[in-house]
Amino acid sequence: MATLSRLIFYPLLILFFLGKLFPFIDIFIVLLAITNLFSQKNFKIKNKYLLIFALIAIISNLLYFNIIAWLYLLRLLSLLSLLIFPPQFDHFQHKFLNIILFSNIIFGFIQYFTWPDFTIMSSQNWDPHLYRLVSTYFDPTFTGLIFLFILVYFYFYSSTFLSAQLSILGYLFIYIAIALTYSRSTFLTFIIVFSYISYIKKNKKIFIYSLIIFLLTLIILPRMPGEGTKLERTSSFYAKIANYQQGLKIFINHPITGIGYNNIPLLNHQNTQSHANSGFDGSLLTIAITTGILGLTLLILGVNYEFKNASLFYQSLLLAIFIHSLFANSLFYPYTFLLLSIFKSIYPVATPLGKYPPSKTQK
């Protein structure tokens, strides 16, 4: 099973790169989770909060049965299992991961300069983005978070495979890709995450450089046609407030166990084919609505446990996805969650910075 789990890893990363161009990643997430569970030699569970949260999510879905919602719940449970039982990846898989991540950024630039007008995709129930980098995920907000993950990873570990000069060029390359998403939630998350890194490392330069880069972004970033490239836009701000108000009304009516994972479109009688209706503009609000106060409490406790027992690298990723999820349903976006679990698996808590973890075949 361990060998099968490793084999699944490669097509899974290819599907990660393809994003919404070939949206079958859910199947491989489930397959990886199953094979990974069977390959475990020790089922000792450290983060019991996430396990109990998974049970609460199952109970909530039993109360409001819907087959589509159960399929999404299966994906969520699979992703959670990869955090609870991190799979083992070897050196070659790590190298393959690097290739996929940076290829994704390159493709993002290609998309931005050759296909900046994404409004035609509104006929396929995608948001009509214009002059924003969306890469293969068709959404600049989630793309921004994924690229921020890559930037944090690059900050901590680029010294293992690049010189100092190339590392600086790499930082700029990744950050420019982030900037071209015009994602304000990602900009805010960027500042908070690197401020936290600066505080923990007691290095003021990290904060100063990050702030300077951000301020230069506000000045230099081109204001192309379209509402989405206006960083001062207020329409989305008021839309999020209305979205939160609507979500809180649902939560008040179902406060204990919620309405079941991914049942929001059915409850609101929305277009279930839309790519934006499975949750509200905030992961914590979505969890409160779908699993109730019990699920929300357990999830927060689970994330807190992960944070307290993590390296600075993994803490930075957790902080990034938590802050970002206040403005978008980022925590349960499969691509961000998958990347989070992969990074945790490749760089566990005990692995020193700049070192590749030993694989089972290397021991």
Q: How far apart are CA 136 and CA 332, in angstroms?
A: 18
pLDDT number for residue 358: 41
Q: What does the pLDDT average to over 157-178? A: 89
Q: Within the chain, where are the H helices?
A: 2-18, 25-38, 48-63, 67-84, 91-114, 140-157, 164-179, 184-201, 204-220, 235-253, 264-267, 283-308, 312-324, 334-346
pLDDT band, residue 268 (cuts 50/70/90) = low
**What integer pLDDT is reported at residue 326 of this predicted model?**
92
For CA atoms 165, 316, 129, 235, the dihedral sign is negative
- Residue 1 clears pLDDT 80, i.e. is over it: no
Local confidence band at 164 (pLDDT 50, 70, 90 cut-offs): confident
pLDDT at residue number 43: 78
56 neighbors 105 (Cβ within 8 angstroms) = no
Mean predicted lDDT score pLDDT of the chain: 85
CA distance 163 to 173: 15
Output the pTM of the full model: 0.88
Q: Would you give the end-to-end CA distance of the chain in angstroms? A: 18
Q: Where are the domains of the chain?
A: 2-346
Range name among 63-72, 74-83, 207-216, 222-231 with the lowest pLDDT average: 222-231
Contacts of residue 251, defined as CB under 8 A and 6 or more positions apart, other chains included, come to: 258, 285, 288, 289
Is residue 353 predicted with pLDDT exceeding 60?
no
Residue 29 has pLDDT above 90, yes or no: yes
